[in-house]
Amino acid sequence: MSGDEGFSIVHGTVVDGTGREPLPDARVDVVDGRIAWVGRAADRPDDDPSGPRRCIDATGRTVIPGLADCHVHLCHTLAKASEWGPPAGRWLSESEQVVNGVVQAQRALRAGLTTVRDLGCATTGVFAIARLTETGTVAGPRVLPAGRIICMTGGHGHRTGRECDGPVEAKKAAREQIKAGARWLKVAATGGARSPNEKLTSIQLDEEEMHAVVTEAEGAEMSVAAHAHASAGISAAVRAGVRTIEHGVFLTDEVIEQLVAAGVALVPTLSVYRRLVERGLAEGAEPYACAKSEEALEPHLDSVRRAVRGGVRVVFGTDAGGPYHQIGADNVLELEMMREAGMSPMQVLRAATGEAADVLGVGDETGTVEVGKAADLVALDGDPLVDVSAYGAVAFVVKGGRLHHVAEPMP
C-alpha cells in the first residue's frame, strides 16, 4: 500500500518513543507517508471526514516507533548452510553477499526494524541496497551504510575492510567510503573476536589515524563509529572524535566518565557474543572467535551495567548478520540483555527507537510517533513495557507510510 492513500491505526496503545506515558485507545493518521495526527481515538471518530477513510484496528496491540538497529552487517560473508547449502562457514561470493543483504533487509523489516546502520560490508552492494530500500524498490529498512571498516594492516576486519597505516592513508580510506556513498564511517580501534592472531584488548588504529578519519567525516557532514573493546582503545577513539563506541567490553570507570563528558553513545551488541558461544561453531564461525566471545560474556555485561549506572547513553544494536545471529531474529535477546544490564523498560524502548534515531542522526525524520515525522511504526501483540518478548510479536510494520503485513508468507 502506498503512503499517499492514507490510513489510520485505531484503538491501540501508543508508546511514542519520547518517554511520555503510553496513550491508550489511540489513533494515528498516516497521510503521504507521514504521521498526520496522533491522539485519543475518541477525539477523532472513525467517520471524521478530515481523516483517512481506511482504518486498521489495533485493539489489544501496542503501537511503537519503528525500531532502529545501530549495528548490523546486511551483506555478511558467512553462508548459512541451511539456506545456501553446505559446508557451514563457506564464504559467500560478492554477488551472493548482495543477495544475502537483500534477504536480510526484508527480514529486518518484518522484525520491526525500519532503520539500520550497516557497519561493515566487503562489497559496495550495500550502497545499492540502501538506495533501493529508500525508494521502496526493495522492501527493507532505511539503511545507513558505512562501507568497509577502516583498519590497520592485518587488523580487525582486514579480510573485508580497507587496510591503512598512518593518517595520510586513513584519510584516503575515509574518502573512498564517502565517494562510494557512505552515511557513516567505521574504524577499528582494537582487536576483535572474528579476526585471527589478535586479542580483544589489542590496540590497533591510533588516535592520530582515527582523528584523520573523523576530520574527513566531519567535512562530509557525517560521523564515525569505533569498533573498540579495550579501555585504552576506547579512550583514544573518544579523544579522536568518534560519536559511537561499538561493543565496549572492557570499560573502566575513567572511560565511562570520558564517554559521558564527550556525549559519546555506547552500542554494546551484547547478544552477538552470546550467539557466537551458543551457535557459532555449528554455523561455521571460527573456533577462536567463539573462544574469545566466551571470555567476553561476563566482563561485557558488567561493563554495560556500570555504563548504565554512570549515565552513558546506551542504544540498541545487535551486530547481527552472521548465520549464528541473523538480523531481526535476536532483537528480543538484545533487548532482554539490556534490561539485564539495568535499563528500565522505557529506557530500553527509547534506546531502540527515539534515542537510537538521534544517535544515528535521523532523529528529525524518524524514531518517535509525532506529527510530521516519517510514518515508521510497529504494532506489537503485547506490551513491551511489561514483557520484553512482545518485541518479537510483530503484528504489522509501517515504513515510510507503506504497510507491511507480517502475516504474509516470505520465502
pLDDT tens for 279-309 read 999 999 999 999 999 999 999 999 999 999 9
Closest alpha carbon to 120 in 188, 207, 221, 168: 188
- Asked whether residue 208 falls in the same domain as residue 118, the answer is yes
- Asked whether residue 126 falls in the same domain as residue 157, the answer is yes
Supply the pLDDT for residue 44: 83
Residue 410 lies in a domain: no
CATH code for the domain of 389: 2.30.40.10
Supply the pLDDT for residue 162: 97
CATH code for the domain of 294: 3.20.20.140
Mean pLDDT of 147-161: 95
- Asked whether residue 18 falls in the same domain as residue 133, the answer is no
- Asked whether residue 39 falls in the same domain as residue 75, the answer is no
- Of the two residues 177 and 409, the one the predictor is more confident about is 177
- Asked whether residue 346 falls in the same domain as residue 398, the answer is no
pLDDT tens for 36-81 read 999 999 998 666 666 677 899 999 999 999 999 999 999 999 999 9
Of the ranges 2-6, 198-202, 379-383, which one carries the lowest mean pLDDT score? 2-6
- Asked whether residue 30 falls in the same domain as residue 96, the answer is no
Mean pLDDT of 219-240: 97
pLDDT tens for 264-277 read 999 999 999 999 99
- Of the two residues 124 and 51, the one the predictor is more confident about is 124
Quote the cell numbers at residue 198.
589478535
72 close to 61: Cβ distance less than 8 angstroms: no
Supply the pLDDT for residue 2: 41
- Asked whether residue 22 falls in the same domain as residue 163, the answer is no
The boundaries of the domain holding residue 60 are 3-65+368-405
Mean pLDDT of 314-327: 96
Tell me the Cα Rg of the chain.
21
pLDDT tens for 180-206 read 999 999 999 999 998 888 999 999 999
What are the start-end ranges of the H helices in 50-153?
A: 81-84, 94-110, 125-135
CB neighbour class for 232 (10 Å; exposed up to 12, middle 13-18, buried from 19): middle
pLDDT at residue 312 tops 50: yes
Supply the pLDDT for residue 1: 39
Supply the pLDDT for residue 53: 76
Supply the pLDDT for residue 411: 45
Three-state DSSP at 225 gives strand
- Asked whether residue 74 falls in the same domain as residue 60, the answer is no
Please tell me the total count of domains within the chain. Answer: 2
Of the ranges 49-58, 219-228, 337-346, which one carries the lowest mean pLDDT score? 49-58
